[in-house]
Structure 1
Amino acid sequence: MTKRTSAKYKIDRRMGENIWGRAKSPVNKREYGPGQHGQRRKNKLSDFGTQLRAKQKLKGYYGDLTEKQFRRIFSEAERQRGDTGEMLIGLLERRLDAVVFRAKFVPTIWAARQFVNHGHVTVNGQRVNIASYRVKEGDVIAVREKSRQLAIVLEAVGLAERDVPDYIEVDHNKMTATFVRTPALGDVPYAVQMEPNLVVEYYAQN
């Protein structure tokens, strides 16, 4: 299990954006970084700073992946034919924890990782407890029957702040989700603008 290296709300404040679109985000009240000097950090970013910020935002969105994990996913995207930024988004969205989050089985990406790690999810009928497991088109992801009445699941299904994207078909009565296709950047319902092209530039220069 990946260590959670920083609080999710702190990521919002560090970025100055409500990156998950949550009603409780502190950025809704104050759009500056944490700490006593947060309000002073308004200097214009350099090209490197802009690229780094884009990488940190995307990495943080998926549960604050470690640099090693994120770099490995990027390297795989780079080897694939097509636009590297688009390939990167596709690989990130195929993570099992991301699919569980998108399907609204749990309220946050952090909860999705824990939910998978604790063995509450099956893929094509087989229990999978690895959050980074990569689903394929046509895979059926389900919440195990004994886990369907957990408070966290019931809470998530009723969330109005986000919808299930059309590349995942969900039946909340049966608590199943089918991963229909790998999405392009424009298909992913990010609450803020993600710029994978800047991530590509960052790694090209570092």
Structure 2
Amino acid sequence: MSKRQSQKYKIDRRMGENLWGRPKSPINSRPYGPGQHGQRRKGKLSDFGLQLRAKQKLKGYYGNITEKQFRRIYTEAQRLRGNTAEQLIGLLESRLDAIVYRAKFVPTVFAARQFVNHGHVKVNGQRVNIPSYRVKPGDVVEVREKSRSMALVLEALESPERDIPEYIDVDAKGMKATYVRIPEFAEVPYAAQMEPNLVVEYYSS
């Protein structure tokens, strides 16, 4: 098992939920935490525990985002006008690796980060290899011509596992995706329940 895959499944088991809705997730057959104490009955979480869990779930969902990066995104969301929880989701969904994942150019968010890092993606015709790059509405994200025959890309595009959300317009044949608009939280197709309002409470407390 690759490091990326084992890490992804570790997050699933730690959270006790199938975060990405993957059929191979071990949580489907072992709905309890990892380790020898994983099957112990869990006590009721405190308010802080619920907030921390919500933050860890949301951070874990977007792959290898560090605590420092996530805190920076939250601080930026706080500065923007409007609902902080909505702004936080909008900023997370505007990341280049998130767009590549949502457009189904790759099968997982972890693969999206690696795919961008290795220079397989262009934004508005320019090669970009920074996963956290902020994509703006109207920007066109495409798979580089040399990378379009990769098995990873072809398998992901053909997979019936996920639907492409309405805020991304995908030309599967041309392997291009236009970021139509910044989504609202209700539009984002999370496989598990996310609670960005609790994340805001966690950082505000």
Task: Sort the TM-score into its range (normalised by shorter chain).
Answer: over 0.9
1:116–1:129 Cα contact (<8 Å) kept = yes
1:160 equivalent in structure 2: 160
2:34 equivalent in structure 1: 34
CA distance in 2, matches of 1:64, 1:36: 26
CA distance in 1, matches of 2:140, 2:122: 8
1:97–1:132 Cα contact (<8 Å) kept = yes
CA distance in 1, matches of 2:54, 2:31: 17
Instruction: Tell me: CA distance 1:129–1:146, structure 2 relative to 1, closer, same or farther (3 Å).
Output: same
1:183 equivalent in structure 2: 183
CA distance in 1, matches of 2:33, 2:64: 17
User: What is the letter of the counterpart of residue 163 of structure 2?
Assistant: D
Partner SS for 1:38: coil
TM superposition score normalised by structure 1: 0.96
Partner SS for 1:40: coil
2:43 equivalent in structure 1: 43
Instruction: Tell me: CA distance 1:64–1:57, structure 2 relative to 1, closer, same or farther (3 Å).
Output: farther
1:33–1:41 Cα contact (<8 Å) kept = no
1:171 equivalent in structure 2: 171
CA distance in 2, matches of 1:82, 1:38: 40
CA distance in 2, matches of 1:143, 1:41: 46
CA distance in 2, matches of 1:62, 1:107: 13
CA distance in 2, matches of 1:125, 1:88: 27
Tell me how large the CA RMSD over aligned residues is.
1.2
1:106–1:152 Cα contact (<8 Å) kept = yes
1:141 equivalent in structure 2: 141
CA distance in 1, matches of 2:117, 2:104: 17
1:122–1:128 Cα contact (<8 Å) kept = yes
**Displacement of 1:203:** 0.4
**Displacement of 1:155:** 1.0
Q: Which runs of 4+ in 1 moved over 3 A?
A: none
CA distance in 2, matches of 1:41, 1:87: 36
- Cα deviations across residues 32-85 of structure 1 (Å, max 9, x unaligned)? 111111111511111000000000000000004110000000000000000000
CA distance in 1, matches of 2:71, 2:175: 33
Partner SS for 2:104: coil
Query: Which piece of structure 1 moves more, 87-96 or 41-50?
Result: 41-50
Partner SS for 2:39: helix
2:101 equivalent in structure 1: 101
Partner SS for 2:107: coil
2:8 equivalent in structure 1: 8
**Displacement of 1:15:** 0.5
Alignment length, in residue pairs? 202
Partner SS for 1:197: helix
- Cα deviations across residues 76-119 of structure 1 (Å, max 9, x unaligned)? 00000000000000000000000000000000000000000000
1:121 equivalent in structure 2: 121
Query: Which piece of structure 1 moves more, 67-76 or 6-15?
Result: 6-15
User: What is the letter of the counterpart of residue 87 of structure 2?
Assistant: M
Aligned-residue sequence identity (percent) comes to: 75
1:32–1:41 Cα contact (<8 Å) kept = no
**Displacement of 1:161:** 1.2
